[in-house]
Structure 1
Amino acid sequence: MMSNTQILQRDQLDLSALVDYPEIEYAPGGIGNSPVAMLVHGFPDTPHSWGKVAQGLVQAGYTVVRPWLRGYTPASVKHGASYDPYTAGLDLLAWRDMFAGRKVHLVGHDWGAVAAMAAVATQANAWETLSLLAIPPFQRVERAWRLLPRQMVMSQYMLEMQAASAPVKLAANQFGRVRALWSSWSPGWKFTNSDIDPVLEAFSNPKVAWAATRYYRSLFTLHRVATRSIYASSRKPLNVPTLAMAGQDDGCMQAALLNVMIEPTCFPRGIRSEILSNCGHFLHAEQPDAVLSKLLAHFDAQ
Structure 2
Amino acid sequence: MKKITPSDEIDPRRRSLLGAAAATLAALPLGVATLADAQQGPTGAKGQAAAKPASHASFPAIKQIDAGLLNVGYAEAGPANGPVVLLLHGWPYDIYSFVDVVPLLVAAGYRVIVPFLRGYGSTRFLSGETVRNGQPSALAMDIITLMDALKIEKATIGGFDWGARTANIIAALWPARCKAMVSVSGYLIGSQAAGKAPLPPKAELQWWYQFYFATERGRAGYDKNRHDFAKLIWQLASPKWNFDDATFDRSAAAFENADHVAIVIHNYRWRLGLAEGEAKYDEYEKKLAEAPVISVPTITMEGDANGAPHPDPSAYAKKFSGKYAHRLIEGGIGHNLPQEAPEAFAKAIIDVNHM
TM-score (norm 1): 0.83
Q: 1:39 is matched by which residue type in structure 2? A: L
Label 1:85 to 1:270 Cα distance change in 2 as closer, same or farther (>3 A): same
Q: How many residues align?
A: 287
More displaced, 224-233 or 160-169? 224-233
Cα offset for 1:98? 4.3
1:88 pairs, out of 118, 129, 139, with: 139
Q: Kindly state the Cα deviation for residue 201 of structure 1 after the two structures are TM-superposed.
A: 1.4
Of Structure 1 and Structure 2, the greater helix share is in: 1
Which of 3-12 and 50-59 deviates more? 3-12
Question: Which structure is larger by alpha-carbon Rg, 1 or 2?
Answer: 2
Taking only the aligned residue pairs, the percentage that are identical comes to: 21
Structure number with the bigger relative contact order (C-alpha 8 A, sep ≥ 6) is 2
Closer/same/farther in 2, CA of residues 247 and 87 from structure 1, 3 Å limit: same
Shift of 1:35: 0.5
| Structure 1 consecutive aligned stretches of length 4 or more whose deviation exceeds 6 Å | none
Q: Distance in 2 between matches of 1:123 and 1:9?
A: 21
Paired residue type of 1:164: E
Question: Displacement of 1:205 after TM fit?
Answer: 4.3
The DSSP-based 3-state class of the residue aligned with 1:262 is helix
Residues 1:46 and 2:94 aligned together: yes
After TM superposition, list the pairs within 5 Å mapping 1:116-265 onto structure 2. 116-138=167-189, 148-170=200-222, 172=224, 175-219=227-271, 220=273, 221=275, 224-225=278-279, 226=281, 229-230=284-285, 232-233=287-288, 235-254=291-310, 257-263=312-318
Asked whether 1:7 is paired with 2:58, we answer no
Matched, 1:17 2:80: no
Indicate how the Cα distance of structure 1 residues 181 and 231 shifts in structure 2: closer, same or farther if over 3 A, else same: farther
CA gap of 1:195–1:213, structure 2 versus 1, over 3 A, is farther
Spell out, residue by residue over 1:217-254, the C-alpha distance to the aligned partner (whole angstroms, 9 max, x if none): 22123664437734632511212101111112211124
Contact 1:108 1:132 (C-alpha < 8 Å) held by counterparts = yes
Gaps of 5+ in 1: 26-31
Q: 3-state DSSP class of the match of 2:216? A: coil
Match of 2:320 in 1: 267
Are the counterparts in 2 of residues 110 and 135 from structure 1 also a CA contact under 8 Å?
A: no
Instruction: Report the alpha carbon displacement of residue 101 of structure 1 after superposing the two structures with TM.
Output: 6.3
User: Does 2:122 match 1:70?
Assistant: no
TM-score (norm 2): 0.72
Residue segments in structure 2 that go unaligned for 5+ positions in a row: 1-57
Quick one: distance in 2 between partners of 1:233 and 1:135?
15
- 1:238–1:268 CA contact under 8 A, matched in 2: yes
2: distance between equivalents of 1:248 and 1:183?
Answer: 15
